[in-house]
Amino acid sequence: MKAKQYSGAARYAFVLYLSCMSLFVSCKKERPEVSEPDMPGTTAVSVQVDLPQGSLWKIEEMSVASLFAKQGLSNGAEAEITAFDVNGYETAFVTNADDDIVLLGYFNPGESKSITVNTESTAIALLLLNPWSMDLAPNAKQEYIALAKTLPEFAELKKRIEQSIASQSGGPLNDQHVLDQLAVTQRASLLKIQDMREAPAAMMARAASQTNSPLAFQIETSGIKVDNQLSSITYVVGLYDGSGKLIDKKEVSGLEKSYYFLKEFGLGKYINTAGSSAAFKTPSNDGSYTLVARNGFAFDGSVEDREALRANAVGLTFQVLG
């Protein structure tokens, strides 16, 4: 993984966070055929912010934010935020007077209603605010956090975050030295997970399968079937005739999968999986036809890409939150 690529992903994640409130409001309006899921209840979580020694940031100029609101810090570097009352990880953001993200908290409100946000929690959040972790159940995330803390690369990541904050350079997310070490640490942690596997052949098979499309197409006289076999991301598939005219389009939802423990993640075994497929009628007229599949991240302006991005927006927002 190149640090430059990760930097872009990290910045996009936080842009997505800032826009998530409008996504929640607009989703039902733009897609009336899809009913809104029941939202979980909320709970208050107390936050203690520990800046590293030598930091020149002024506590009274800093704030802590969750999905719901931003709260200024008291003289004791404390605040209270609102979080979803669920067994799942969420993210808190500590910002300075310029709204730069200085620290991150990564916590499970189902486990504790009191958290400390510091350089260690920031390093953990940066490691897990990444698409690879989206299928990890809370148990597996807890295991990963414990594993990451044992790595020398993780200690170096914390050190670089401390140095970034001490330099007042605009926060760790704007510091290339932090992002470079983040890539190194994540690579080391994933290699460590591979060492945990019991069946190397299974891991090799999973790695090979990831080089192929997550979608499988079956084209027969009786019909066209599209199956989502691997991805948690929703795809929108369009069927076009030879002139480029859209005949029909279908949504192929993402798999509802969860890796309960890291060993299952390493072996590519997951639970709570619901199959996902879409079917088209095979055109009766002779000619050339094209199937176009998009997941919302091609940014090519196609109707498939726009609808897929809208379908994935809420789910991805929750991944940014944890």
Same domain for 237 and 314?
yes
Please say which residue of 195, 224, 249 terminates a domain: 195
* Structural domain includes residue 58: yes
**Exposed, middle or buried, 24 (CB in 10 Å: 0-12/13-18/19+)?**
middle
* Structural domain includes residue 200: no
Same domain for 141 and 82?
yes
The Cα-based distances of 226 to 107, 218, 244, 290, 299 in angstroms read 38, 6, 20, 13, 22
Please say which residue of 139, 160, 195 terminates a domain: 195
Same domain for 68 and 171?
yes
User: Count of CB atoms within 10 A of residue 46's CB?
Assistant: 13
**Phi/psi of residue 114, each to 5°?**
-140, 125
**Exposed, middle or buried, 156 (CB in 10 Å: 0-12/13-18/19+)?**
middle
pLDDT per residue rounded down to tens, the chain (322 residues)? 333 333 433 443 443 333 333 233 333 334 334 444 455 688 999 999 998 887 878 888 889 988 888 888 887 788 899 888 888 888 999 998 888 899 999 999 988 899 999 999 999 999 988 767 766 788 888 889 999 999 999 999 999 999 998 887 778 888 899 999 999 998 898 888 877 654 344 433 443 344 346 788 888 888 899 988 777 778 899 999 889 999 999 998 877 666 656 666 666 666 655 667 889 988 888 888 899 988 876 767 888 888 887 777 655 544 444 4
* Structural domain includes residue 51: yes
- Is residue 241 within 8 Å of residue 247, measured between CB atoms? yes
Same domain for 74 and 109?
yes
* Structural domain includes residue 243: yes
- The CA dihedral of 177, 180, 183, 184, to the nearest 10 degrees, is -90
Q: Which domain holds residue 257?
A: 207-321
Q: To 5 degrees, how large is the angle CA 121–CA 125–CA 128?
A: 140
CATH of the domain at 279: 2.60.40
Residue appearing with tokens 């005219």: 245
Same domain for 183 and 212?
no
Q: What is the pLDDT of residue 99?
A: 86
Domain count for the chain, please give it: 2
Same domain for 177 and 224?
no
Query: Does the model's pTM come out above 0.85?
Result: no
- Is residue 196 within 8 Å of residue 262, measured between CB atoms? yes
CATH of the domain at 60: 2.60.40.1120
Please say which residue of 147, 171, 195 terminates a domain: 195
Q: What's the distance, Cα to Cα, between the start and end of the chain in Å?
A: 21
